[in-house]
Amino acid sequence: MIALLFVLLIALVLLRIPVILALALVGLVGMFSTQDVTPAFFAQRSFSSLDSFSLLALPYFILAGSLMSKGGLSEALVAMGKGLFGHWRGGLGNASVVSCVSMANVSGSSAAEAAAIGSVTIPAMKAENYQPGLAASIVAAAATIGPVIPPSMTMIIYGSMTGVSIGGLFLAGVVPGLIMATALIALIFLMSYLPAFPALAHREPWQGFRALLQHVRRSWVALLAPVLIIGGIFSGLFTATEAGVVTCLYAYLTSRYYYRSITSSDLPRIVVDAGLTTATVVGIIAMAGSIGWLLSFMEFHLLALEKIQLLSQHPQTVLMVLVGGMLLMTMFLESLAVLILFVPVLAHLGQAYGFDPLHLGVLVVIATQIGAITPPVAVLMFITGSIAEASSSETILYSIPFVLTLMAVLILLMFVPELVTWLPSRMVAG
């Protein structure tokens, strides 16, 4: 029965049925087909999956990202990225990576990051004769860093479902996010020496330190956001949930009075856009939550544990299977839905094998993001490919080295957990 539900879900998604409707249909079919379960449980469990204090932070972080991205932040971050790397080989590509890292300090969403940064950098890269598929692939790969570097909506959801410290997850994502960015920058630099990528060899004139300082001065308020969030959480000034409200207020004040790029008349449109995004995210959480409860009722976590124990007793092998399974599922399903469906099972298996919850959480988040740029679904590639006006086949072709690079980073983090746990352990110890 469980296998049939998964097959039905993947089939509906591949038929282009919206994810939220596909989840709802599978949930209803599953509950109608399961003994001792009434269809009324579907609505009950959908609403109960939203009954979490931690999830209250979601709409505020979404609104904060919307305020900052529409408040001129993306242009300022791109300008800073060009000032730092524009005179390098592959300058515009690397500036896109740096811009995404900086944007991750505010947005917490890979899709929002891909759209905000891509709308600025992709046309600029195309003007420098970057192949459209290459420009789209660079931004999509860099956007995967968004949910890894705090604040992160994905980590908020993971923490609310597992009871893992959200502040700890935020800290645990900092070093892996920087490693991902460094790996992508190194890849673009190396690709610039290949004849197949002549545009990457282009270098802009060095703007000088004065121009760079001007860009930093315009962007520093965004770079201060994670310091404010993490510092406030670990100093006890506010909780991780309350951090969403603080970030939202900070985003409004900086966009309104520092950048002076939004006015009171812009607020209704920004709030409506953030509300629509929130409704989509919350809807997916609710629908997937009902299926997650059904899987728990069917004791899927015990079945998974039994199968994995038959496969191997070695913890490292089990960890690779779990993370690889998440990566595989996000190649076919929306990453948020996969996260909600399988996190309870992962948490149970992680506890059974004694995995560090922060280490497992960060690996799962990164795996779901890599899945978002891997065909056949590749949500982030669809967003950036649309901006670049590139065909799906071209975008997929250029995405291969970026996907492989991020997978190499994931494997590194899997075998060297200290890269994930070092910063949280230092902060807690301090």
Give tens-digit pLDDT for 146-188. 899 887 888 888 888 888 888 899 999 999 999 999 999 999 9
For residue 53, the model assigns a pLDDT of: 73
Does residue 406 lie in a domain region? Answer: yes
How many other β-carbons are positioned within 10 Å of the β-carbon of residue 139? 32
User: Stretch 130-151: mean pLDDT, rounded?
Assistant: 91
Query: Cα–Cα distance between 271 and 383 in angstroms, integer?
Result: 22
- pLDDT winner (highest mean) among 76-90, 125-139, 288-302, 367-381: 125-139
Which amino acid does the sequence have at 100? C
pLDDT-derived band at 110 (thresholds 50, 70, 90) equals: confident
Interval 390-406 mean pLDDT: 90
* Residue 353 covered by a domain: yes
Domain presence at residue 14: no
* Mean pLDDT, rounded, of the chain: 83
* CB-based burial, 113-126: b 16+ in 10 Å, e otherwise: bbbbbbbbbbeebb
Q: Does 37 fall in a domain?
A: no
Q: Is residue 3 domain-resident? A: no
Provide the terminal-to-terminal Cα distance of the chain, rounded to the nearest Å: 50
Mean pLDDT comparison of 119-123, 298-302, 367-371, 407-411, highest-scoring range: 407-411
The 3 state secondary structure assigned to 28-53 is HHHHHHCCCCCCHHHHHHHHHCCCCC
pLDDT above 70 for 73: no
Residue 218 pLDDT: 73
Query: Looking at the predicted structure, is the pLDDT value of residue 430 above 60?
Result: no
Would you state the structure tokens that stand for residue 56, as one six-digit string? 């209250």
Q: Residue 416 has what pLDDT?
A: 95
The DSSP line for 76-115 is HHHHHHHHHHTTSTTHHHHHHHHHHHHHHTT---HHHHHH
What is the domain count for the chain?
Answer: 1
When pLDDT is averaged across residues 126-132 and rounded to a whole number, the result is 88
Is 209 within the bounds of a domain? yes
Report residue 107's pLDDT band, with 50, 70 and 90 as the boundaries: low
pLDDT for the residue 361: 94
Q: What pLDDT is recorded for position 429?
A: 52
What pLDDT, on the 0 to 100 scale, is given for residue 71? Answer: 62
CB neighbour list of residue 265: distance below 8 Å, 6 or more residues apart: none
Q: What confidence category does residue 66 fall into, taking pLDDT thresholds of 50, 70 and 90?
A: confident
Query: In the predicted model, is pLDDT for residue 359 greater than 90?
Result: yes
pLDDT of 345 reads: 82
Sign of CA dihedral 235, 57, 75, 374: positive
Residue span of the structural domain in which 189 resides: 20-32+42-429
Is the residue at 13 inside a domain? no
The yes-or-no verdict on residue 362 having pLDDT over 80 is yes
Find the mean pLDDT for residues 225-251: 80
pLDDT digits (tens, 9 = 90+) for 266-294: 888 888 988 888 888 888 888 888 888 88
At 282, list the tokens.
Answer: 């919350």
Sequence-distant (6+) residues with CB within 8 A of 246 are: 228, 229, 232, 238
Structure tokens at 419: 């890269």
pLDDT value at residue 352: 84
Mean pLDDT of 300-309: 75
Q: Is residue 330 part of a domain?
A: yes
pLDDT > 90? residue 419:
yes
Each residue's pLDDT tens digit, 183-233: 999 999 999 999 888 888 877 777 777 777 777 777 777 777 777 777 887
